Amino acid sequence: MSHVYRLIISCPDQVGIVAEVASLIAQHGGTIVEANHHTDSAKGWFFMRHEILASSLKNGVEAFQADFAQLAEQFEMQWQLNDSAKPKKIALFASKESHCLADLLYRWHEQDLPGEIVCVIANHPDLEEMAKWYQVPFHYVPVTPENKPQAFAEAEALVQQYAADVIVLARYMQILPPQMCADFAGRVINIHHSFLPSFVGAKPYHQAYERGVKLIGATCHYVTEVLDAGPIIEQDVIRVSHAHTVEDLKRLGRDVEKTVLARGLRHHLEDRVLIHGNKTVVFSV
């Protein structure tokens, strides 16, 4: 993968944005490797993502950044300029079920995940050996009805300590306190084991079995205060039939869950996801 800067922009829509941005990039000699735009006509909002070859910026990235800041002010842009050479740091939150954790650790180990897993924080000790094999620090932070505030304070302190950029709830099965949701807004990713908004909350496979649906699914979304209601990043489904028990649904669903989480997380790590209100723009390849 080439060394690039990722320029992510969202702002009120108006004529000339693309031209101004493209001209500035060109003035700095920037080679655009990938470019995506989206206009939300209904809301009058504009979204843009560029990958600029790092080596092509003839005066360096700081000079570009300084010039861009002026442009951004003019167009009231929310923006980021991220360096692909500084991959985002990931804190994995887990419980007892290993499939999502194992999948992400494996992908990272194979250099197939464009981020860095810095720690595993789990409310059960079961998955310690797995984390160890991948040489990732494992922290056992049990959560009980009594110790919730302290437990989450401890977890949050660990996240700060590891300077994690993103928290991934890899089937963590605990509800984060509202304050933590607010503190890490847009930086906590969950995998829910249903095709949301169907089957919110507990035991979605049981709910799916009872309803007799012919497809089951999984949803990767940002966590907000409202349970299973945050902006959706990615979803997928798999066909099932009357012949499948709840156990079968769980087994088949695990493959969907881990794939959907890995895809959604990948999008986030590559700065392809722009949140606007309760929805996402995903500039996937």
What gap in Å lies between CA 230 and CA 18, rounded to an integer?
Answer: 30
Q: Which residue's CB is nearer to its own copies, number 25 or number 72?
A: 25
95 near its own copies, rule: CB under 8 A: no
Contact 209, 250 (CB under 8 A): no
What gap in Å lies between CA 240 and CA 30, rounded to an integer?
Answer: 49
Contact 7, 49 (CB under 8 A): yes
Q: Is the C-alpha dihedral spanning 200, 107, 37, 88 positive or negative?
A: positive
82 near its own copies, rule: CB under 8 A: no
Nearest distance in Å: CB 249, its own copies: 12
| Contacts (CB under 8 A) with its own copies, residues 13-52 | 15-16, 18-23, 25-27, 29-42
H helices within the chain, ranges in order? 17-27, 60-74, 99-109, 128-133, 148-161, 178-183, 204-211, 246-269
Catalytic residue numbers read: 228
Out of 170, 199, 261, 265, the only residue in the binding site for its own copies (CB under 8 A) is 199
What gap in Å lies between CA 105 and CA 115, rounded to an integer?
Answer: 11
Contact 160, 119 (CB under 8 A): no
| Contacts (CB under 8 A) with its own copies, residues 206-235 | 211-215, 217, 231-235
187 near its own copies, rule: CB under 8 A: no
Residue with tokens 């310690």: 128
Out of 62, 70, 86, 110, the only residue in the binding site for its own copies (CB under 8 A) is 110
237 near its own copies, rule: CB under 8 A: yes
Nearest distance in Å: CB 2, its own copies: 9
Q: Which residue's CB is nearer to its own copies, number 71 or number 213?
A: 213
99 near its own copies, rule: CB under 8 A: yes
Nearest distance in Å: CB 88, its own copies: 19
Q: Which residue's CB is nearer to its own copies, number 179 or number 284?
A: 284
What gap in Å lies between CA 257 and CA 75, rounded to an integer?
Answer: 39
Q: Which residue's CB is nearer to its own copies, number 99 or number 187?
A: 99
The contact pattern for its own copies, residues 133-162, with x = CB under 8 A and - = no contact, is x-----------------------------
Q: Which residue's CB is nearer to its own copies, number 89 or number 99?
A: 99
3-state secondary structure of 191: strand
Contact 282, 233 (CB under 8 A): yes
Out of 98, 128, 153, 187, the only residue in the binding site for its own copies (CB under 8 A) is 98
3-state secondary structure 216-282: EEEEEEECCCCCCCCCEEEEEEEECCCCCCHHHHHHHHHHHHHHHHHHHHHHHHCCCEEEECCEEEE
Q: Which residue's CB is nearer to its own copies, number 98 or number 177?
A: 98
Tell me which residues touch its own copies (CB under 8 A): 15-16, 18-23, 25-27, 29-42, 56, 98-99, 102, 106, 110, 112, 133, 195-199, 211-215, 217, 231-237, 241-245, 248, 251, 254-255, 259, 278-282, 284-285
